[in-house]
Every structure is written in structure tokens, then in C-alpha cells.
Amino acid sequence: MSAAAPGTSRAAHGDVGPKKKKGPGALATAYLVIYNVVMTAGWLVIAVGLVRAYLARGSYHGLYYSIEKPLKFFQTGAVLEILHCAVGIVPSSVVLTGFQVMSRVFLTWAVTHSVREVQSEDSVLLFVAAWTVTEIIRYSFYTFSLLNHLPYLIKWARYTFFIVLYPMGVTGELLTIYAALPYVQKTGLYSITLPNKYNFSFDYYTFLILVMISYIPLFPQLYFHMIRQRKKVLGHTGDYSKTE
């Protein structure tokens, strides 16, 4: 499930609270600032691309094609966040971060890219719009936090917009996967049938159905976790710093 993806949970899963944690060293901090600035700019490019394409066409249909390349590039660039956790410059779970990042990468490449018939679906624009707003806020949040100058407006947006963006993103993702099912079943995309020399079979169609089912237990848990995080963070009046 693209859960944090979906709407925003990579920021809400973490280690936000009254206790301050030791941040990364000066060199690591400089690198993380540059990384987050670049990612913020990248998602702003995607946002501007969507708006320009909409104004030029006068319709929201098929806007995916106008931002396909930057979307793939910057969403895939989030894989570096797993490395950041693995080497310890970001104090977050490697497993959780990996799950959240790779679920989005999976939807970007293994569903939307691989099943071209779904690229014109309105559901794709739904999750792309949710991701775009989420990531602009999230990477801005991280950048200002690393600089120890976090405007309250960005902090508030970080822990408020997910209330709408998370369900919006999840809805778009589920509808996109659902739209891909007939084409996957018809073409046998990524499926491995018996017999073969490895004596192994894999049905990608069934796998996608299982992915959709996984949203049922995961979505409520993550969503209400973020609600609790929102109360903790926005309800805390003291200083607060995050080094992701």
C-alpha cells in the first residue's frame, strides 16, 4: 500500500514529540538540505506542469502525460530516503520508510507505467495531485526543520492537509489498480506460468487484487495514527525539531 504515499504518512509516522533527538552532522545536514530543496523544486515543477497543461487544454483529462517524466524521476528519487535511514542520517525505520517509498514506486512503474491504458484515467490525476501537494509540503517541512527555522504554517499544513490528501490519494491508487486489472488479466503482464524450469508460478493479476485488499487493514491504522500525531504535534506548545 502506498500509504504514506498516499497521502502523507512518511512525516506523520515518525518521531515527532517533545523529546529532541540528536541530528545528523554538519555534512549530512548540508546534504539533506540540498536533497530536500531539490525534491521540493521537483514536485513544484510537477505542480506547475499540471496547472499549465490544464490551462492550455481547458480539461483535466489526460494531464498525466504532461508530467509523466518528472513524476517518474522525482518519485523514484525518493528511494534515496531508504538509504538515508539505512546509513543513520535520518532517524526513521528503514523497513517502514522502504515500504512507504517502494509502494509509490510500485504504483508509478509497475502499474501506471506498465499498463498504458490506465494513464488516461481520472484516478491517476487524483493520486498524482494528492502526491504533489503532499510532497511539496513534506519536503519543505524537512528543509526548514533542518535549518531550525520551521514556519508554523508549514508545520500546520504538514499535519492538517493529510486529512483530505490521504483519502484522496488512496482512492486514486485503488481506482487505478482496479482499472488496470482487466488489461493485466488479458495480457498476462508480469505473470509466470507453469511449466517452467524453475517450477515457479506467479499471477500478477491476483497479486494486484491482494495489494488492493491490503488497503483495508492498513488505511485506517495509518490514518488514525496520523490523527494522533497531529494532536501531539500541533497541540504541543514547545519548540520542536525534526531532522528527516
pLDDT per residue as tens digits for the range 138-159? 999 999 999 999 999 999 999 9
Whether the pLDDT of residue 23 is over 90: the answer is no
What pLDDT shows up at residue 21? 58
Which residue of the set 173, 204, 215, 244 is catalytic?
173
What pLDDT shows up at residue 235?
84
How far apart CA 24 and CA 145 sit, in angstroms, is 12
pLDDT, tens digit, for every residue of 118-145? 999 999 999 999 999 999 999 999 999 9
What are 89-108's pLDDT values in tens digits? 999 999 999 999 999 999 99
pLDDT digits (tens, 9 = 90+) for 65-77: 999 999 999 999 9
What is residue 224's predicted lDDT score, i.e. its pLDDT? 96
State the sign of the Cα–Cα–Cα–Cα dihedral 69, 70, 75, 81.
Answer: positive
Give me the pLDDT at residue 18, please: 42
- Alpha-carbon dihedral sign for residues 88, 91, 95, 100: negative
Of the listed ranges 15-24, 41-50, 155-164, 215-224, the one predicted with least confidence: 15-24
Has residue 240 got a pLDDT over 60?
no
Is the Cα dihedral 128, 99, 210, 162 positive or negative? negative
Q: How confident is the model at residue 52 (pLDDT cuts 50, 70, 90)?
A: very high
Is a pLDDT exceeding 70 seen at residue 86? yes
Question: Is 223 one of the catalytic residues?
Answer: no
Q: How far apart are CA 11 and CA 34, in angstroms?
A: 18
Could you report the per-residue pLDDT of 53-66, keeping only the tens digit for each?
Answer: 999 999 999 999 99
Active site residue 121: no
User: Which amino acid would we find at residue 169?
Assistant: G
Instruction: Inform me whether the pLDDT recorded for 17 exceeds 70.
Output: no
pLDDT over threshold 80, residue 110: yes
Q: Output the pLDDT for position 164.
A: 98
User: What value does the mean pLDDT of the chain take?
Assistant: 90
Q: How confident is the model over 17-36, as a mean pLDDT?
A: 81
Q: Dihedral through CA 52, CA 10, CA 176, CA 217, nearest 10?
A: -150
Q: Report which secondary-structure segment, H or E, holds 221.
A: helix 204-234
Q: Which of 35, 64, 142, 166 is catalytic?
A: 166
What pLDDT, on a 0 to 100 scale, did the predictor assign at position 229? 95
